[in-house]
């Protein structure tokens, strides 16, 4: 940099704009640091809830020799998406506004094998003393008009830090493998541009959702039939089952 150049040149543009940026530099930095700290809280909440879900899955495996959870996916809402939603809703762009108005900054998606697993996992989670259920939306018993199905929970969970405890909100979506398959493809198709016949596409997607619903229920029925037909265990079988539990991994 030339010795006669102003340090403001690093910003480029009009001098008045540069001066404004420098005058508000501390405010901008404070906002950025507040946002970074807030995202740390939400990331920590995701870890807390994920751990709880993994413990429940292992417990089910120990008790019933099967895992109700197929996979767990997590995501932190992007800064752009946060700002866009605040602006669209007419809310102030600040850390306080984010915490007050947005429930889906921390997102956890739980993929289950069967429909009844969804409710079993949800009930076991919200029964825990430190989990507060804020809102529940059951799009399985009452699907959206387009066919979307999933169980949505808004919860708050305490996150323990070195010198404080903070309750943080998160959104949990619980669905079957088939529901997730449909939702993923529907999401991709929805954002395609220049669809010549959108209503026809919507009708076909709804038909696919109905077929998937029937498949989910049929698969659960088949599993239940198999479970019901299992012969009563002998004492030797019970001992053998207990011995097999020693091979179930309980964490590293």
Greater confidence (10 vs 150) lies with 150
* Mean predicted confidence (pLDDT) in 30-43: 82
pLDDT band at 8 (very low <50, low <70, confident <90, very high): very low
Give DSSP secondary structure letters for 44-88.
Answer: HHHHHHHHHHHHHHHHHHHHHSS-SEEEEEEEE--HHHHHHHHHH
* Mean predicted confidence (pLDDT) in 160-187: 94
Active site residues: 171
* Mean predicted confidence (pLDDT) in 57-70: 89
Predicted local confidence at residue 71, as pLDDT = 96
The answer to whether residue 24 scores a pLDDT higher than 70 is no
Greater confidence (189 vs 111) lies with 111
* Radius of gyration, alpha carbons of the chain: 25
- Largest interatomic CA distance in the chain: 92
On whether the CB atoms of residues 129 and 157 are closer than 8 A, the answer is no
What is the Cα–Cα distance from 202 to 107, expressed in whole angstroms?
Answer: 26
pTM comes to 0.79
Pairing mode, if any, of strands 132-138 and 151-160?
A: antiparallel
| pLDDT tens profile 225-243 | 988 877 776 666 556 565 5
Predicted local confidence at residue 16, as pLDDT = 64
The answer to whether residue 74 scores a pLDDT higher than 80 is yes
pLDDT band at 1 (very low <50, low <70, confident <90, very high): very low
What is the Cα–Cα distance from 208 to 197, expressed in whole angstroms?
Answer: 17
Q: Show the beta-strand stretches assigned E in 177-243.
A: none
């Amino acid at each position: 940099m030339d010795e006669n150049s102003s340090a403001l040149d690093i910003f480029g543009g009009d001098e008045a704009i540069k001066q404004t940026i420098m005058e508000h530099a501390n405010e901008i930095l404070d906002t950025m640091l507040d946002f970074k700290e807030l995202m740390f809280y939400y990331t920590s909440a995701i870890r807390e809830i994920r751990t709880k879900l993994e413990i429940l899955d292992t417990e089910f495996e120990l008790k019933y020799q099967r895992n109700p959870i197929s996979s767990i996916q997590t995501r932190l809402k992007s800064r752009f998406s946060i700002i866009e939603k605040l602006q669209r809703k007419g809310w102030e762009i600040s850390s306080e506004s984010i915490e007050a108005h947005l429930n889906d900054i921390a997102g956890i998606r739980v993929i289950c094998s069967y429909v009844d697993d969804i409710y079993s996992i949800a009930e076991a989670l919200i029964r825990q003393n430190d989990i507060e259920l804020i809102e529940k939306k059951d799009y399985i018993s009452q699907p959206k008009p387009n066919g979307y199905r999933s169980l949505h929970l808004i919860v708050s969970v305490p996150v323990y830090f070195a010198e404080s405890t903070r309750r943080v909100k998160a959104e949990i979506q619980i669905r079957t493998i088939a529901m997730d398959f449909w939702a993923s493809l529907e999401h991709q198709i929805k954002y395609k541009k220049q669809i010549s016949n959108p209503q026809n596409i919507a009708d076909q997607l709804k038909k696919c959702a109905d077929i998937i619903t029937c498949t989910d229920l049929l698969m659960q029925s088949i599993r239940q039939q198999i479970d019901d037909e299992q012969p009563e265990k002998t004492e030797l079988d019970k001992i053998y089952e207990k011995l097999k539990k020693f091979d179930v991994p309980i964490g590293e």
